Chain A
Amino acid sequence: MSQTLTEDKVSIKTWSGQSIPRKEDGRLVKGQGRFADDIRRHHEAHVYLLRSPYGHARIRAVDVSAAEAAPGVIATLTGAEVHFLQKPFMQIAPLPGGYIEDYCLAVDKVRFMGEPVVAVLAETAEAARDAADLVEVDYEPLPALITGEDALKDDGPVLHGKVGSNVVWHGLYDWGSIDEAKRKADKIVKIDRLHFHRFTSTPIECNAAVVEYYPGSEEYTIWCNNTMPQFAAMFMGPALGIPTDRMHFITQDIGGSFGNKITNYVYIAICAILAKKSGRPVRWTEYRTDHILGGSHGNERTFLDIEVPVKNDGTILGIDARAIDDCGAYPRYEPLGSVIWSQVVPGAYQFRNVRVDYTQVVTNKCPVGPNRGYSRLQHLWMLERVIDIVAHELNLDAVAIRKQNYIQPEQMPYETPNGCVYDSGDYPRCLDLALDLIHYDHWRQRQRELSGTGKLIGIGIGSTLDSGTNNFGQARIINHDLPFSGNGEVSNVKLDLYGEVVVTIGTTPQGQGHETTAAQVVADLLGLHPDQVRVLIGHDNGRNVYTGFSGTYASQFAVTGLGAVRGAALKLKNEIELLAAGIFGAAPDAIELVDGTARVKGKAEMAIPFIGLANIVFANNATIPDGLDVSLNCTYTYRPSFKIPDVERKFGNLTLTYATQIHACVIEVDEATGETKILEYGAADDSGTLIHPQIVEGQVHGAAGLGIGAALYEALEYDAEGQMISPNFYAYKAVTAVDVPMIKTAAIESPSPFSPNGAKGMGEGGGAPLHAICSALQDVMYQRTRAIVSDSYNPAERVYRLLRQSETANRGVHVIENRA
């Protein structure tokens, strides 16, 4: 893009909608980004965390004397001390789940392998690490709890004694009338068990923090890569007895999060305690093994006893199921996931009778946290499995059954059975686009031609919704006493002393290009080139621009972040117009903003540059036109209009926008080995009005890449003793460039009627690749053993087994004719 303003303006109407080069790229391609572990403080000390080698054990004794005597060691911190210095972190669950006590270091018991037990602070990272080898911990190993189903058994271990069971939360969701639907159905398809596996996005940058304590003001400065800092403050404040304004969070460049960095406040708390204890800036660097063992995993969920009433023509009437969600050893952000899934209760489909008996339990595994597609992808995966299984069992076409059951474009906006409002979209068209991308007709024909030759081709579809901009009122469905509702983000747009436009936002971008898209929006409103708009990097509550919800998560920036930026820029525009109008004695609506000047329309000589306006307000205010109250420093809070949901019926609008992601793929399976190769991959996306199409496409690619990895290669696995067997990139096989195909994309734009700019939050992707690949594998199985693809993780060995499942084996699926 050319840099000369006058030329551009002829050809470009607005900056929004253009894929301009990203502002953040300039520093990032030069290695000039500032990431959390790049922060250096004078006199800093380094913390190393000794972690539990057991999944479940009682801590009998901890001896840090040798470590404390080791060269360079400044201090240690143990669970016993933490028990004294910290109150347990707030629990979101109501009692008895709320009795769970979560500390930053293990107290009395360790409940997952990798749980931090002792922190060692030393002059160098090496000294801290060396001294940690000298710490002696006497453990009494306890039996470990590994599966969600086992957690519910009466005779197993109980992780948190005070709770009395391993249940964090239980609730019955019941909308429409599933029993009536079952009576009306021609058939009921029963599926015994579907299992959504544990994986995570493993951002390439691990967690990191530097915490400095100033005794004079009792203030903590926290440089970190937490992506929801005020949420972290809500947890840390009461636990550590620190007023939240005294925790000054500063985030800058963040090397990916995908939700995984929301819960690193536990570790920041360790640093904060040590910073105060030692009087030194405390630097914590997490390494990959630490991150995989003790960072944040995605929710693992098992669906049991699924019953699907259907008509003979394939009309699906509803779903009845039990869900057991395994959140690992401590809930932290959970059990919010136990309601978040209900943003997409019927997925893309029209059925209106749903009953889900939902239980969340603790196990001896790493705590979960939001992970790209959070809680919705598990549910959407289950729905797509159901659709494919129903299609095959009833001998119906997998495309036709989807189109027939999809919510149709003319039904938009569409209220779901639980009161969510799907804003806009055209699912059948997205599906057609996705099928075109993969040359669907060609491959269906090839599949027929190849039948009997030993070459196995499968075609799969994953239809998902990417719900964005949460109504935090849904938390009340989990715990009626939680004082949360709505959502919001803040932005400040100002002129600095010399007239530069500076934008501040409360968000914590990790690659989503906020600096660029915010600049586009502001440039359009203030008549500038995006290069003339400076957007500050990251979240800094010292700038006083934040809400409790500030951050970057849950697909909301395009709506909340840009909504706030737009509001603030409009306020500034209004002030500029008033000021210029006062100066020139013109009406405010006669003022136009062009090239960094405010001028009276049609009068080139009546113009004042922004620097002139800034001068008047900031340094020359005796010249302000009489009676004008302008600051040229404008803050706006964007609040989507939400109501508090009906917590009894678990009913209400839980999210503002619904982007559509429909993926399709063609795979080839090696019958001899079970290896899956992706031959074609297409993603059709509808994110409403696009501000920067290239950034949106990039998000689609990224979500597809991670999803393909999760479907075929990536699983976080534990053995029966609670040992994690995939704690590094040897065993956790993150996808490489040779594992993913060229992902093809297509997009339509169905503007959201509910967002300020027609855009929809997007980026999480709803796990569509998991659905599409399982769907394609199911397509393969129906050509062979008719085995059911019942797990979301399908490495070669599992596919190999499915291809060899005996024809008489119990497939876990039964079709029952309804004679009533």
Chain B
Amino acid sequence: MALLLRELEYVRPDSLEDAVRLLSELPDAGLLAGGQSLINVLKMRIGGYSTLIDISRLRELKAIEVGEKSLRVGAGVTYDELMHSMEVSLHRPTLVDVVGRIADPQVRNRGTLGGNCCYNDPTCHLPPILTAIGTVFEARGSHGTRMIPASEFFVSYYQTSLGPGEMLVALHVPKLKSRSGDGFVPLSVGGTDVLNIIAGAATVTLAEEGGIEEVVIVVTGASERPIRLESVEEGLKGTAGQPDDADRAFSLLDLALLDPPDDVHASAEYRRDMVPVFTRRALEQAMKNARRGIHD
């Protein structure tokens, strides 16, 4: 590996339309968003593309719009831009927190939401939280636009359900409902938010009397894609969400769901052991945030 890339072609279309067209027309072409993953892939010379379509300046991908039930966040919004978005901090504050923890200021000034989701590295911050909160992905290809729920978007390591010639244009993020809260707790090397070994994400909605009405718990790093701990969710629904409720619910965790990788950062066994720890911490954070919502 070096700072020497293979020869490649570069094009910077002026419009989204052109970008979509080029993507389907050009052979072996790929999108260059923030480049904070793709440039490293190119340095390795084992993957990447021979033509890069630079979408980092496309204004159409930069918009953040507030709809009735959800926010539409352009795929080209950088982490830094998102952190400074009033709309997002009002309607889904957790996203501001989560992207604020990604890597460092330099990476946050370039990396984009779309790139993070499309790269779909198991250590990425966004896939678990976006899955937990029920994000819908808006994809555009030469055949038009389609909407893909998070549960279908993230397919496997570095794979999404985007088809050839298709690009992600926006993320539809549900607005936080009342009495709801989100949580995101990663286990990272050195505890400093790089290289998440696993990450737990959760969102809960409480009933007026404080019991758990709805809950989604997601983990990444424990399998090839973000997975929902549905048995635990079922066990929690209708309970008051007290520690012994959580104990009971987590005892229902379906370990067969988990197929964690073994790598330099952690063994599969350790990852498996950490699943209940970090998902539970995410749940607790979500509960705390939701209760704060009630008291506000």
Contacts and interface: CB of A to CB of B under 8 A. Distances in A.
A733 B270 contact: no
B2 A129 contact: yes
A677 B191 contact: yes
B6 A713 contact: no
Contacts of B6: 130
B192 A800 contact: no
Contacts of B267: 797
A285 B3 CA distance: 10
A130 B273 CA distance: 45
Interface in B7-46: 7, 45
Interface string A678-722: 000000000000000000000000000000000011000100000
Contacts of A730: 195
A800 B197 CA distance: 14
A375 B267 CA distance: 30
A3 interface: no
A126 interface: yes
A796 B7 CA distance: 42
Interface residues of B, number: 23
B293 to A, nearest CB: 27
A735 B264 CA distance: 16
Contact of B4 (A129, A672, A712, A797): A129
Given A130-B7, A712-B190, A733 B195 contact: yes
A287 B40 CA distance: 13
B189 interface: yes
Contacts of A712: 190
Given A125-B4, A673-B274, A728-B1, A738 B192 contact: yes
A63 interface: no
Given A125-B4, A725-B263, A736 B195 contact: no
14 contacts: A48-B2, A48-B4, A129-B4, A290-B1, A673-B274, A675-B187, A717-B264, A725-B263, A726-B264, A730-B195, A736-B194, A739-B190, A795-B189, A796-B187
Contacts of A648: none
Contacts of A726: 264
A731 B2 CA distance: 16
A627 B194 CA distance: 73
Which of A713, A733, A739 has the most C-beta atoms of chain B within 10 angstroms of its own C-beta? A733
A630 B142 CA distance: 87
A449 interface: no
Interface in B255-296: 263-267, 270, 273-274, 277
Interface in A95-147: 125-126, 129-130, 133
Given A725-B263, A726-B264, A731-B264, A289 B1 contact: yes
B247 to A, nearest CB: 13
B190 A713 contact: yes
A707 to B, nearest CB: 15
Interface in A604-636: none
Given A673-B187, A673-B277, A739 B192 contact: yes
A287 B267 CA distance: 29
Given A288-B1, A733-B190, 14 more contacts: A129-B2, A287-B1, A287-B2, A289-B1, A290-B1, A675-B191, A713-B189, A713-B190, A717-B264, A727-B1, A731-B264, A733-B195, A795-B189, A797-B266
B3 to A, nearest CB: 6
Interface in B123-173: none
A121 to B, nearest CB: 15
B45 A133 contact: yes
Given A130-B7, A672-B277, A725 B2 contact: no
Interface residues of A, number: 33
B278 to A, nearest CB: 8
A481 to B, nearest CB: 42
Interface in B62-97: none
B2 A290 contact: yes
A800 B4 contact: no
A725 B265 CA distance: 10
A800 B265 contact: no
Contacts of A731: 264-265
Interface string A778-820: 0000000000000000011100100000000000000000000
Nearest to A129: B4
Nearest to A49: B2
Interface in B230-265: 263-265
A288 B7 CA distance: 21
A126 B264 contact: no
B270 A800 contact: yes
A20 to B, nearest CB: 33
B8 to A, nearest CB: 11
Interface string B173-198: 00000000000000101111011000
Given A730-B195, A736-B192, A795-B189, A287 B3 contact: yes
Nearest to B267: A797
A119 to B, nearest CB: 14
Interface string A549-591: 0000000000000000000000000000000000000000000
B264 to A, nearest CB: 4
A673 B3 CA distance: 37
Which of A129, A672, A731, A796 has the most C-beta atoms of chain B within 10 angstroms of its own C-beta? A796
A287 B190 CA distance: 25
Contacts of A796: 187, 191
A432 B113 CA distance: 52
A492 B191 CA distance: 50
Top 3 A-B residue pairs of the complex, sorted by shortest distance between their CB atoms: A289-B1, A129-B4, A725-B264
B190 A797 contact: no
A725 B277 CA distance: 27
B263 to A, nearest CB: 7
Given A287-B1, A287-B3, A712-B190, A800 B45 contact: no
A288 B4 CA distance: 13
Contacts of A287: 1-3
A339 B2 CA distance: 37
Contacts of A727: 1
Which of B2, B265, B266 has the most C-beta atoms of chain A within 10 angstroms of its own C-beta? B2
A797 B3 contact: no
A631 B4 CA distance: 52
Interface in A349-392: none
A727 B270 CA distance: 22
Contacts of A725: 263-264
Interface string A469-485: 00000000000000000
